[in-house]
Amino acid sequence: MRFRHAASIRSTYPELACGALYATGVDARADTGPRAAEYTARALDRLSGATEGEFPEVLAWRRTFSRMGLKPTQVRCASESLLRRLRKEGTLPRIHPLVDLCNALSVAYAIPVAVLDVDRVAEPLLEVRPAGGEETYTAFGGGIEHPAPGEVTFVDSAGRAHARRWTHRQSGHSAVGEHTRRVLVVAEAMHEGGTQIVPELLKTVEAEVAALWGAGTEAAVLTATAPEFVFGE
């Protein structure tokens, strides 16, 4: 399978920094609680000195959303939503061991981290691109939506959208669950310094997945000159 950002996304958002990881052998039996708690504590420490809306990582995504014609205080990137919940409630939701770990890493780094069940994504290509309007998106509640033309989303070869408004919300169709064995993890940053932080985050995810699951992994940092991640072959 291949994962990439469309050329139009790369040209419009040259500041984009992205890392992707493919892992096999993942299941719901691992105990990621202690590791997730460490990363969550890091985020809480940072939140004790400032709100998430002051973080440069979050501000960069707010600017990106504004450029897409969205109101950034109404439509938030996933990491901002998680940080906001953490600040207000002191904890993050428990969903699945891997998702819990990646959510904790997302708040620790203040960067959106998507986790998709690869077996629920139609091969051979998953591309971040503007929607044409005909794509189908499955909400977590099961309803079907159609991203508006021009909305940035993750689109597979069957025309299924796996996100709404880029890093705002993932799809219920490819959500990780009890059945999941193969995953694609995608981290995306827009802030200055993202090109240094994303590789660090990617290495951390790779190390944690290897340690907790003994899983086989493949990973790549995507750039304008190397925009595609080929995995699972």
- Give me the number of domains the chain comprises: 1
Contact criterion met (CB below 8 Å) for 170 and 162: yes
Range of the domain at 82: 2-230
Instruction: Give tens-digit pLDDT for 155-190.
Output: 999 999 999 999 999 999 999 999 999 999 999 999
Please name the amino acid found at residue 232.
Answer: G
Strands across the sheet containing 2-5:
144-145, 136-138, 160-161, 152-156, 125-130, 2-5, 228-230
- Global confidence as pTM: 0.97
d(C-alpha 136, C-alpha 111), whole Å: 26
Residue given tokens 């069940």 in the structure block: 117
CATH number at residue 93: 3.50.40.10
220 DSSP β-pair partners: 20
Contact criterion met (CB below 8 Å) for 135 and 153: yes
Instruction: Give tens-digit pLDDT for 202-222.
Output: 999 999 999 999 989 999 999
Mean of the per-residue pLDDT values of the chain: 97
Q: What was the pLDDT predicted at 62? A: 98
Strand 160-161 relative to strand 136-138, pairing: parallel
